Structure 1
Amino acid sequence: MTFPTHQYYGSTVQLPFPSATGGKLPTASISLLWPSLIKELPYYMTLSCSPEVVMSTLCGSFWELEIPCNLVGPWLHPLLNEVLSGTSGTVNHDYEMLALMGAIRRPNISALWIGAATSGLAPKIIQKVRRGRPPLDALAFPWTGCPQSFMDTAGSGPYTFMNAEYISRPDVWRLLHLPPKEGDDLCYRNRPSTPWAPCGASKTKDCALRVTSHLRCNRHEYHYHHWNWDPEEGAVSQDYGFSTTPISTITEYPTDLLEIKKPKTFQKKELDQMASREASLDIFRWFFINGEGIPPETIYEDDWLKEIWDEDESGEEAGEAGDQESQGLAATCRDRVETWLSSVA
């Protein structure tokens, strides 16, 4: 299933040599499993032919709903920089451990994790996750049942459940993404390109009307319905994916597969906040690009977010310079035309 993903991302398939191990015989009869496997085979084939969904799903194993954008670095640091040896995606990493952890966090794609680790896709996954900007595909959640972004969940409780004057920023982002009742010049149709939720809360008085008009509503959420297969020959068929409800992201049942012999300590390394900074830039850039400029809240003056406003200001300056240059060229051309007309007359 991971081979098309290897080709798409330019990764080389590296299969290990087979070795004799003390495997266990299956407890269930293989013949009883065939009907369900045959029924699900088209789903697995479709999933394997969508490298973006496969990579998004695997990278989504590192995402956690309760981790905001400014804590991405501390969240990823112990695993990527201390538990796994080395500092980049190299053969020094303990990919068996990575596959085991991925399978525990996402039990329903455990086989996909084993295939990724076995075929050598793990370095590419770590590379994508390390900077806090993992690839994100909106179809990955309904096709695997694994939420991979705060936008995949609707949240819980009233929108202003703690204080009527405040609303959490993740809820602000969710409400902005809803289709407006009346057309406006804002554009929030596309989801954020990062899975990490914005940190903190906003004052309701500083929010747009398209947000405050929903404060007393029950939770809104999007539901995936289907996509269409449109073959060159034949009728269009509707495909509803594999799972329409979230599946637990952590295994809830104890297992005897883990034989912990003794605790292991790892060398502590200095914390790098680059992933937090990049995740924060991405999620707040989505709000700024689609909105109406810099909001009045003080968080938008933070050093981590200044790059967004600097980009906008430099773009405006470049636009003004371009306008002045165009005006200068137009004036020069006009003078030349007038000079030519005078000489002809």
Structure 2
Amino acid sequence: MSSPASAVLPSSAVALKYLEHFCIHNRLYAQCSVALAGVLYIPFLRGAVSLPPPKQVRRRKGGKHNDAEPNSIPSLFKAYSEMIPRYMTLSCNIWALRSLLQSTFFNPDIECNLVSAWLNPAFAVLNSIAPTDQYSPIRALANRQPRLGVLWLGAFLVNVAQPVLRDTRNGMVALDLAASAWTNTRQTFLTLPMGSNDGTSVSRDDECRLLFITGSECHERPPVWPWKPFGSTNLSDTELTIQQHARCASTHCLQYESWEWMLTDGRTIRDLQNAETTQIYKPTSKFTPQHSAPESNPPPPSDYDYDLLSQLLSESATRGIFGWLRSTGYPENERAIYQHSWIDLEGTDEEEVDDKMSDGKVGPNGNQVQVNAWLERTAEGSFPAREYGAC
């Protein structure tokens, strides 16, 4: 059935009222929440969404459902009417939704070389769940991060979850700093507070943070690898920007300020930070997990169908974050790192003399002696004198 071209489409408030009346008439109750979670993924599916048919709930004996109860349909829709603009904003950003789902697996304490040890058991358990048990994966993921459980529910409902899980299992993780701020969700080590240092060295994760915050050369964009690098760097081997700010690192951090929506007519809508707008998703009711009795707990799965000894995830994460951190070259004392097979630079010829070098750093093929010789010639005045104006 096609509507006439002159038909006036209902506003979001009127459409929500239609849906509320439909849910009340058919006694759908919480199923309306499930449907709303599913339609968030319409952009994923290019508009083709197929939701399972709703099931009517039998009337309870002893009277009608009290509309004043927190989980009654009118109460749910009243909360939805306030959150619809935020849901729509989130739904318009496919990358943001994907990043929120994948943040379920993020642990800020895990270093890049230990990612496999962290994620392999998680996917082994998920792979061991029988395909006919459609609710257990949702429970497992929601229990890991309850605030995002509704997003996983919608993702499984419209068959978006499996591609997201597959990409996460293969080390392809999305990162959206704005979505992380909107939902107050950790997605990367980059948003964690700075640590302290002893004045002689700086942790490599703090080094990454300072490089990004200060917009240092080749580090204007955040690393897409969420796992922090291990170890520390001598301050004398870091960029000049790091040496300048390392001692005041505790005062540097990423802080959400605002976002702007650019309209087709050239105007923009700016949303400043405040308690109401920064939280795009807020649970409308408290969730109490249902725990089974001890005697009913299922036995641990015996067939994991997963290579627990694989190091591919650690290798990918380590190569990625160190490639971003050392995009301008490695210090000489990090030879063991850039020659490691995971970094894939161990076969380079260290006798090569045409390497690009800067600020006392050398590339993987570099020779520190050349840098020292250049500095000595400069100090002795071996180059023609030139006049330079003030910066």
TM-score by length of 2: 0.65
Q: 2:203 aligns with which of 141, 165, 168?
A: 168
Is 2:230 the partner of 1:199?
A: yes
1:314-333 aligned at under 5 Å gives the runs none
Residue 112 of structure 2: aligned partner: 69
CA contact (8 A) 2:83 2:280 kept: no
- Distance in 1 separating the partners of 2:52 and 2:125: 25
Residue 2 of structure 1: aligned partner: 41
Is 2:92 the partner of 1:49?
A: yes
Number of paired residues?
294
- After superposition, give the CA deviation of every residue in 1:88-112 in whole Å (9 maximum; x if it has no partner): xxx9385522222322233222211
Residue 68 of structure 1 and its aligned partner are, at CA, apart by: 1.0
| Runs of 5+ unmatched residues, structure 2 | 1-39, 349-353, 356-391
CA contact (8 A) 1:70 1:279 kept: yes
- After superposition, give the CA deviation of every residue in 1:85-135 in whole Å (9 maximum; x if it has no partner): 38xxxx938552222232223322221111111221121111110122212
Is 2:245 the partner of 1:214?
A: yes
Residue 334 of structure 1: aligned partner: none
Cα 1:41–1:198, aligned 2, differ >3 Å: closer, same or farther? same
- Distance in 2 separating the partners of 1:102 and 1:154: 26
- Distance in 1 separating the partners of 2:92 and 2:233: 41
Cα 1:100–1:34, aligned 2, differ >3 Å: closer, same or farther? same
Residue 341 of structure 1: aligned partner: none
CA contact (8 A) 1:145 1:247 kept: no
1:1-345 aligned at under 5 Å gives the runs 1-7=40-46, 15-16=51-52, 27-28=69-70, 29-85=72-128, 92=131, 95-155=134-194, 158-160=195-197, 163-179=198-214, 186-217=217-248, 218-233=250-265, 235-240=267-272, 244=278, 255-259=288-292, 261-267=296-302, 269-271=306-308, 272-289=310-327, 291-293=328-330, 295-297=332-334, 298-307=336-345
Cα 1:131–1:21, aligned 2, differ >3 Å: closer, same or farther? farther
Cα 1:172–1:127, aligned 2, differ >3 Å: closer, same or farther? same
Cα 1:20–1:230, aligned 2, differ >3 Å: closer, same or farther? closer
- Distance in 1 separating the partners of 2:196 and 2:279: 22
> Relative contact order (C-alpha < 8 Å, sep 6+): which is higher?
1
- Distance in 1 separating the partners of 2:116 and 2:178: 26
Q: Does the residue aligned with 2:260 lie in a helix, a strand or coil? A: strand
CA contact (8 A) 1:142 1:243 kept: no
Cα 1:308–1:118, aligned 2, differ >3 Å: closer, same or farther? farther
Q: Which moved more, 1:207-216 or 1:47-56?
A: 207-216
Q: Does the residue aligned with 2:226 lie in a helix, a strand or coil? A: coil
Cα 1:203–1:43, aligned 2, differ >3 Å: closer, same or farther? same
Residue 223 of structure 1 and its aligned partner are, at CA, apart by: 1.5
Larger radius of gyration: 2
Residue 263 of structure 1 and its aligned partner are, at CA, apart by: 4.5
- Distance in 2 separating the partners of 1:22 and 1:170: 56
- Distance in 1 separating the partners of 2:110 and 2:312: 15
Cα 1:37–1:124, aligned 2, differ >3 Å: closer, same or farther? same
RMSD over equivalenced CA pairs, Å: 3.6
CA contact (8 A) 2:87 2:280 kept: no
- Distance in 1 separating the partners of 2:134 and 2:240: 49
CA contact (8 A) 1:134 1:194 kept: yes
| Runs of 5+ unmatched residues, structure 1 | 311-315, 318-345
Query: Equivalent pairs: percent with the same residue?
Result: 28
Q: Which moved more, 1:70-79 or 1:135-144?
A: 135-144
- Distance in 1 separating the partners of 2:102 and 2:344: 28
User: Normalized per residue, which structure has more helix?
Assistant: 1
Cα 1:46–1:70, aligned 2, differ >3 Å: closer, same or farther? same
